[in-house]
Structure 1
């Protein structure tokens, strides 16, 4: 009995119990403790990466603080959607100032584009990148989208979205086979000469209807013969009159010479 009591009171037992208590407490804290600081650090890191990319690729024209210059506008308030559209379609960064930035090969990865968008969004509030459900065109009313497109967009982009020329060397780009996200972002940010269509002008559902219409045009085969590039009824009518009447006149001259 005395030997058993001596073992229980061994000096090492206290140290072992304290060490065991510390291990259990540490494990419980690591499992149960919240981690808000880690998520916050991730957002800060993305904005920091975006700023580095901005200074290396965009600051020459837009200024070190994105305040704008004589050749490029300020980016304060344009929002993440504008960056995602311009950089995600290869329009930016622009090699040299021009009347309009054409669509080109994308120069950044998706993560880098997201970082640039996060940095610009941190400067001032602006349109956010839309969620995938709002830009898919699924569930959209194609007929209503076609009507909205013809009223608001066809005068520049053509009734079939084939694009067209504008004044002073500018142009309305083709919307054929353009992703719904970029179509939506263009409507809410108004790039180049395009006006801004916010939610008060065209609701998010109406924007999705327009996307559904444009996607239906991409998938629809022309059943009326040659579409002549879908350049519109006025141009197509002029083509028919000029060449059709020309052929008729030439045929009449040929018949007259043959009869003579």
Structure 2
């Protein structure tokens, strides 16, 4: 008699349990992801300085709005409502940047006293006097408005003596290569064509010199950072200030700073005049 084997009951099909397991895993993953996102969001809200950014943006908007009011009161007649310029009155300001605004307005060249070949330097108006806090703030606001609407070269963050480089000797070499043909070897200026001239650099402050190199006012060329690096510009400023403060007359008297051979030229002229005078005296005596 053959032994009988009892067949154990079949276990529940695994196929019936897999869908429930997948659903659970998906729900757990979604829950973990949600908790992670909520945690990151909470951490970001704590770390992110959103209020400071909003305040900064609001301050920038207020500065630009103030600059627009100043522009409408002082500049719109000659430069147009959209900075496009007005024929026979003033050029377009699109692309000049806040550097040009600072140079022209802080040096008193703008607004023009009258239409002429050369914009003459004069004391700035009280509204834009850079020596007062109110004037400096107004200058910054006007520049911000022109920059926001037209773009262009911007002034560096450094100001004043911080714009002087630490190598005036190198600055002197660069100045003689790029600037002396118009401004003279010591920045005393010189005549140009059509009633224009390169002005003396003595009254210009560091910010104005840097802005002039960036923007190229009048006949002056523009010097981008590819032509003269920011450090080279600062070295040039250091050289200009070293020869304009009256403490760099190595040969003695500066004699007006008309060049490195000024004393020799004057000695030659005086000596030649003395010789001619002596010769005439001898001839008259005979």
Normalising by the smaller structure, the TM-score range is 0.7 to 0.9
TM-score normalised by L of structure 1: 0.79
Establish whether residue 112 from structure 1 lines up as the match of residue 129 from structure 2: no
Q: Over aligned residues, Cα RMSD in angstroms?
A: 2.3
Q: Which secondary structure state, in structure 2, belongs to the residue aligned with residue 205 of structure 1?
A: helix
Residue in structure 2 matched with residue 189 of structure 1 by the alignment: 215
Q: What are the ranges of 5 or more consecutive residues in structure 1 without an aligned counterpart?
A: 1-31
TM-score normalised by L of structure 2: 0.73
Displacement after TM superposition at 1:150 (Å)? 0.1
* Cα pair distance change 1:243/1:134, threshold 3 Å: closer
Q: Which secondary structure state, in structure 2, belongs to the residue aligned with residue 251 of structure 1?
A: helix
Alignment partner for residue 34 of structure 1, among 51, 72, 76? 51
Displacement after TM superposition at 1:78 (Å)? 0.7
- The answer to whether the 8 A contact 2:185-2:260 is kept is no
4+ aligned runs moved over 3 Å, structure 1? 35-38, 233-244
Displacement after TM superposition at 1:210 (Å)? 0.6
Report the Cα distance in structure 2 between the residues aligned to 1:237 and 1:46, rounded to whole angstroms: 54
Establish whether residue 76 from structure 1 lines up as the match of residue 103 from structure 2: no
Q: What are the ranges of 5 or more consecutive residues in structure 2 without an aligned counterpart?
A: 1-48, 129-134
Displacement after TM superposition at 1:243 (Å)? 4.2
Displacement after TM superposition at 1:239 (Å)? 5.0
Of 195-204 and 136-145, the range deviating more from structure 2: 136-145
Over alpha carbons, which structure has the higher Rg?
Answer: 2
Q: Deviations over 1:46-77 (max 9, x none)?
A: 11111111111111111121101223211011
Q: Which secondary structure state, in structure 2, belongs to the residue aligned with residue 96 of structure 1?
A: coil
Alignment partner for residue 251 of structure 1, among 278, 283, 286? 278
* Cα pair distance change 1:33/1:138, threshold 3 Å: closer
Residue in structure 1 matched with residue 132 of structure 2 by the alignment: none
Displacement after TM superposition at 1:133 (Å)? 6.2
Report the Cα distance in structure 1 between the residues aligned to 2:176 and 2:186, rounded to whole angstroms: 9
Establish whether residue 65 from structure 1 lines up as the match of residue 82 from structure 2: yes
Aligned positions, number: 228
Establish whether residue 89 from structure 1 lines up as the match of residue 107 from structure 2: yes
